[in-house]
Structure 1
Amino acid sequence: MTNIPETGRTPRVQLRLVVIQVLAFSLLLTLGGRLWYLQIRESDAYAEEASGNHVQRVVQPAVRGSILDARGVPLADNETRLVVSASRTELLTMEDDGKEVLTRLAGVLGMRPEDVMDKVRLCDAETPQPCWNGSPYQPILITDEATAQQALQIRERAEDFPGIVTEPAAVRRYPGPGGAETAQVLGYLSPVTDDEVRRAQDTDSPYLRSDQVGRSGLERQYDKELRGKAGVTRYEVDNLGRVLGQGENDPAEPGSHLVTSIDSRVQRVAEYELNEAMKDARKEWDRNTNEYYKADSGAVVVMEAKTGRVVAMASNPAYDPNAWVGGISAKDYEKLTGEASNNPLLNRAIQGQSAPGSIFKVIPTTAAVNAGYSFDGPYDCSSSYSIGGRAFGNFEARAYGPISLGRALEVSCDTVFYRLAHEEWLKDGGTTPKKDANDWFYTTAHQFGLGKPTGIDLPNEVGGRVPDRQWKQEYWEANKDAWCAQGKKNGSYTERIAYENCLEGNKLRAGDSVNYSIGQGDTLVTPIQMASIYAAISNGGTLYTPTVGKAVVSADGRNVREIEPESHGRLPMTKKTRDEIDEALAGVATRGTADWRFAGWPQDEIPMHAKTSTAEVYGKQTTSWFATYTEEYTIVMTISQGGTGSGASAPAVRKIYNALYGISEDGTIDRRKALLPTPQKGLPKITPHG
């Protein structure tokens, strides 16, 4: 037998083994490097991330603070209700996006399926209300009025209602004490949006996705104080979601309470009398338009004359703020925002702008005296005054002959102010003003605080308009192109006006100045502005920034931050001029345009000062204004398309004063019936229990 010698592995096999060894070594080296990177270099970051993955946060919403009137009566508070919510993210994991579940839920709650589905759809530019404008990851409120039987049915059949939660929760409530809705002053709440959450992340008051935030009124202005701080409980869980233990716990901090200067009793009277005045105005015949007055909107402000604090503020049309609680329905939303609604969400006391008419005349009176004219005059109160062939008439073509500025206020003589304004316009250079033009009438209006917001502690206040030379120029530059495109020299009235404005709409004409002198033309004011001015005349000349908030009080009542009245200047008049105007305004109530409305008023005990106004508005019926003050209070009321000041607004204003002071129609004072003969001084006591 022949032995064959062993020759060993072939070169090809040896090469393959070397390659495999190199690959294996490379893989081991890569794996080792990766393990070093994860376990050593990035160990802290991944440890923190791993820990976070095993911590679940449960949010406990903070109880929102109450809004109280000056006596401690709740205007906005909370009540416990059974709340049914839906998780949109869980519903979207279902094949039909949760439609079957929501339809089943609607049946239990006695709601229409389409209404329930509308509540969980997200708001965007193309989606009308009702819809969800909060975070899509936050539970969406379906109803806060579930009965115990409905809640039990949902809980017992949990398998039929995945993504649906029912539990007791604190829900905002607007009790409307005595029928005082105070809607536009209080405002309303709605869920926080993702954008708001992002923007507030780095602030000292971040939002949680479960938060409700104020959208208007005091709820918005004092949202940070009222909202409090939600509690967060952290649970350690395993990968299967089983709770292993409890981690850090941040307890919820309830929101602070806001004490206001509003007196709910006076608020109720103000709302009622404004509404009644509007209804009465609609029964009166307008001889100018040959129809009944429309009296489509109005506002009234009751203010402490010596502090600027608001005792009552009403705007009409009004609404029930509880409509927003739990998510607003499509029907209610249409009522509040539809074309036929006339904007009840608008607070006309601070956002309604219109020409003031004759209540404005205290400003040109002051301007005339500051320009060097004598208060005593005499000035000719003729039935009309002509400029360039155009006659500017006095109200109802009345003439009173030579009178003082004080008497001009009492009888509301327009032609006296026409003459003064025209003379000053000529002195300033007319349509080609001097470089050093005084513009007394316009400058004085700015000094009275017009043309800018008063600074009241309510959001979205507007500033009105003083149509001076600067405004004319800016307005012309903004509208010149449109006027030139529309204007025709021999066209319709509006086309001719556009043609004239195109050529010289930036010039302050004589007609502009005389119209302005009686609060007409392009002049715009708000009721709160005029209330501030008349309050300043009452208190001797100090302009206070109006306030509704009086104090912020912690939930336990221990910490109190009072909101003190602040002055932002004085009226541009001497004490002598102030006293002369004060006497003239008292004369309005006793022997002037409002004397027939104050027959029997106890003038010796409670001196009344007033000014009536019937402001003309192009294309509409006249606006009724009535501005008044006593030593303690200022009340200003306006009714759009309501007629005259003494005819429409004055009776309602007197009735508010009657309620404040306890005065009967014959002028008898009964202090026992007086709601608030002097302003509320102190603060209500708040304990941890309310």
Structure 2
Amino acid sequence: MNKSIRFGAVVSLLLILALLVNFTVVQTMREDEYAQDARNSRIVMDLKKINRGNITAGDLTLAESFRNEDTGYYQRAYPNMPWSFAPVVGYASDQFGTAQIESGFNGDLTGDSGSSSRFMRTGLEDAKKGDNVQLTLDPNLQAFAFDQLAKPGYEGAVVAMRPSSGEVLAMASAPSYDPNAIVNPASAGDAWGNVNNDPGKPLLNHGTQDQLPPGSIFKIITTAAGLRNGYTPDSPLTGDAQIMLPGTDVPLTNYGGQACAGGGQVPLRTAFALSCNTAFVQMGLDMGPDALRDAAARFGVGQNYDLGLPNAAGSLGDLPGAAELGQSAIGQRDVTMTALQAAVMAASVANKGQRMAPFVVKQVRDEDGKVLRETKPKSLGEAVTEEEAATITDLMFGSERATWGYDGNGFASKTGTAEHAEGAAPHVWYVAFDPQKDVAVAVVVKNGGNLGEGATGGQVSGPIGRAVLRAAPAPVEGDK
């Protein structure tokens, strides 16, 4: 009997000890994680009681709070270009929580960034305004990029960034929504139902969260792998209209089923300029899966970024055999990227091979304007060597000329047309950079835009990307 009592007592003590350990971990080491979770009911009350800091871009206030004189509670407002910025800024609703920057920087905006434990609060914190978050986005370019998508009714994204620093200048996503309707109690219920029932998923930031097959823009990465494994711009590749995928009776064809430059052997520079699928399948098969995996990883495919925004990692997918490798070499099968990752890919080439961490928040300041935190440019490593980057840049100049002819713009580019479902219109891409302005851009328009199954990246996304590059501001000296 005593033995049973002792055993029960020991078990009870161990359970109590485990509970105390877990309580200590939750209340100390993981306090900030749980405290800033948008599902936390305390967050909902804070949204009503706390004068959140502003979110700004340039001289424009994108989000601010005002006190409702009747209730005494604070309410969020989005006074400038809410549709253009909503997929980045997000919303702070006392009914539906927070999203995007409003969520990722909730601790700063509420003045509760985790620098002090909630057990040390005095009760006077609600009287203090939260910290202000300044974005890197250029308001004019953001509005311009959004209009390029929204006016024709496209679904997709535009991301523009500085290759030398990683600073994001524009991150437009369509369709979008008005966050004012979500945070206003009078309209919140209907607005919430509308955005959640919209098949275009306006609450999604299509620039960072939408993982899509990249199609031929991925040939930049395949080319990088080829250069690392002995290929040169003059290396001969097949220009035939089709190539059989190994181990299958399935032919993989060029766009439109046409031979590339008349067929036969073509140099890599011609295959890149004309986006010859068969040539890149041949090169991918010759290099093998490890070369493609290595190049994709160096460009950031499969990696997330610390943006304060939710962002998908993309994937090269599994390469179990030669057939899968051949399809993946042209950005199909299981390969996926986001528009942000595509912009980073182009920017890495533009930056002499160095991949910079993208960022959308420039500074966090207190209500007196004191800088509390500032994002500094950070290299994530070498995507390609400087020599390889110069070679790919030259090939991208050739692609731009082959698509539009040389008109003096000086852009280096690659288009992509990605199949994604049988009978569906393709997703169409354009990535490019202007070395004179230190700007790179990625554009994706889903489901062919308004051109349906015959759409191409050159027809739909290219004009948007080129317009954004022209509109982008040149860097101001001392920006880096």
* TM-score class normalised by the smaller sequence: 0.7 to 0.9
Residues 225 and 295 in structure 2, CA contact (< 8 A), matched pair in contact too: yes
Residues 406 and 581 in structure 1, CA contact (< 8 A), matched pair in contact too: no
SS in 1 for 2:208: helix
SS in 1 for 2:314: coil
How far off is 1:168 after superposition? 4.8
Greater CA radius of gyration, 1 or 2?
Answer: 1
> Within 2, Cα distance between the matches of 1:250 and 1:223?
19
Give me the CA root mean square deviation.
2.5
Aligned position for 2:276: 413
**Structure 2 counterpart of 1:399, from 260, 277, 301:** 260
How far off is 1:392 after superposition? 1.4
Residues 72 and 259 in structure 1, CA contact (< 8 A), matched pair in contact too: no
How far off is 1:576 after superposition? 2.0
Residues 180 and 264 in structure 1, CA contact (< 8 A), matched pair in contact too: no
Aligned position for 1:38: none
**Which range moved further: 404-413 or 611-620?**
404-413
> Within 2, Cα distance between the matches of 1:578 and 1:347?
30
Aligned position for 1:363: 221
1:333-364 CA-partner distances (Å, limit 9, x unpaired): 221111x4421101111110111001000111
> Within 2, Cα distance between the matches of 1:415 and 1:302?
31
**Structure 2 counterpart of 1:224, from 107, 130, 147:** 107
Aligned position for 1:385: 243
1:578 corresponds to 2:424: no
1:271-291 CA-partner distances (Å, limit 9, x unpaired): 001123x44xxxxxxxxxxxx
How far off is 1:575 after superposition? 2.2
1:342 corresponds to 2:171: no
Aligned position for 2:75: 171
> Within 1, Cα distance between the matches of 2:286 and 2:461?
33
1:606-661 CA-partner distances (Å, limit 9, x unpaired): x211101111112321111000111211111101111210111111222222322x
Aligned position for 2:474: 677
SS in 2 for 1:299: strand
**Structure 1 counterpart of 2:64, from 56, 66, 77:** 77
**Structure 2 counterpart of 1:320, from 171, 178, 192:** 178
1:65 corresponds to 2:53: yes
How far off is 1:229 after superposition? 5.8
1:267 corresponds to 2:168: no
1:638 corresponds to 2:435: no
Q: Judging changes above 3 Å, is the alpha-carbon distance between structure 1 residues 355 and 680 closer, same or farther for their aligned structure 2 residues?
A: farther
What amino acid is aligned across from residue 418 of structure 1 in structure 2?
A: V
> Within 1, Cα distance between the matches of 2:375 and 2:184?
31
> Within 2, Cα distance between the matches of 1:587 and 1:313?
27
How far off is 1:518 after superposition? 0.4
1:186 corresponds to 2:37: no
Aligned position for 1:329: 188
How far off is 1:560 after superposition? 4.0
5+ residue gaps, structure 2: 1-45, 114-121, 449-454
How far off is 1:249 after superposition? 7.1
1:465 corresponds to 2:315: yes
> Within 1, Cα distance between the matches of 2:446 and 2:281?
25
Residues 62 and 229 in structure 1, CA contact (< 8 A), matched pair in contact too: no
> Within 2, Cα distance between the matches of 1:562 and 1:608?
31
1:509-567 CA-partner distances (Å, limit 9, x unpaired): 32211110100011111111111111110011111111110011110113442111212
Q: Judging changes above 3 Å, is the alpha-carbon distance between structure 1 residues 76 and 463 closer, same or farther for their aligned structure 2 residues?
A: same
Residues 229 and 254 in structure 1, CA contact (< 8 A), matched pair in contact too: no
SS in 2 for 1:365: helix
> Within 1, Cα distance between the matches of 2:112 and 2:101?
18
SS in 2 for 1:556: coil
> Within 2, Cα distance between the matches of 1:180 and 1:422?
45
How far off is 1:447 after superposition? 2.1
What is the aligned length? 410
How far off is 1:176 after superposition? 2.2
How far off is 1:380 after superposition? 2.4
1:258 corresponds to 2:142: no
How far off is 1:369 after superposition? 2.1
> Within 2, Cα distance between the matches of 1:329 and 1:81?
16
How far off is 1:408 after superposition? 1.7
**Structure 2 counterpart of 1:627, from 409, 431, 438:** 431
SS in 1 for 2:458: helix
TM-score by length of 2: 0.80
Q: Judging changes above 3 Å, is the alpha-carbon distance between structure 1 residues 374 and 322 closer, same or farther for their aligned structure 2 residues?
A: same
5+ residue gaps, structure 1: 1-58, 83-165, 193-212, 231-247, 280-294, 426-437, 470-507, 661-675, 684-690
**Which range moved further: 529-538 or 368-377?**
368-377
> Within 2, Cα distance between the matches of 1:250 and 1:547?
33
> Within 2, Cα distance between the matches of 1:377 and 1:680?
41
How far off is 1:680 after superposition? 8.3
> Within 2, Cα distance between the matches of 1:680 and 1:650?
29
SS in 1 for 2:370: coil
Q: Judging changes above 3 Å, is the alpha-carbon distance between structure 1 residues 64 and 680 closer, same or farther for their aligned structure 2 residues?
A: farther
Q: Judging changes above 3 Å, is the alpha-carbon distance between structure 1 residues 510 and 544 closer, same or farther for their aligned structure 2 residues?
A: same
Residues 363 and 371 in structure 2, CA contact (< 8 A), matched pair in contact too: no
**Structure 2 counterpart of 1:589, from 394, 400, 406:** 400
> Within 2, Cα distance between the matches of 1:75 and 1:680?
26
> Within 1, Cα distance between the matches of 2:255 and 2:140?
37
> Within 2, Cα distance between the matches of 1:253 and 1:347?
31
Residues 88 and 309 in structure 2, CA contact (< 8 A), matched pair in contact too: no
> Within 1, Cα distance between the matches of 2:302 and 2:432?
21
What amino acid is aligned across from residue 104 of structure 2 in structure 1?
A: Q
Residues 456 and 548 in structure 1, CA contact (< 8 A), matched pair in contact too: no
Residues 625 and 649 in structure 1, CA contact (< 8 A), matched pair in contact too: yes
What amino acid is aligned across from residue 430 of structure 2 in structure 1?
A: F
1:165-201 CA-partner distances (Å, limit 9, x unpaired): x345542111124x76310100111339xxxxxxxxx
Q: Percent identity of the aligned residues?
A: 28
**Structure 2 counterpart of 1:440, from 264, 277, 291:** 291
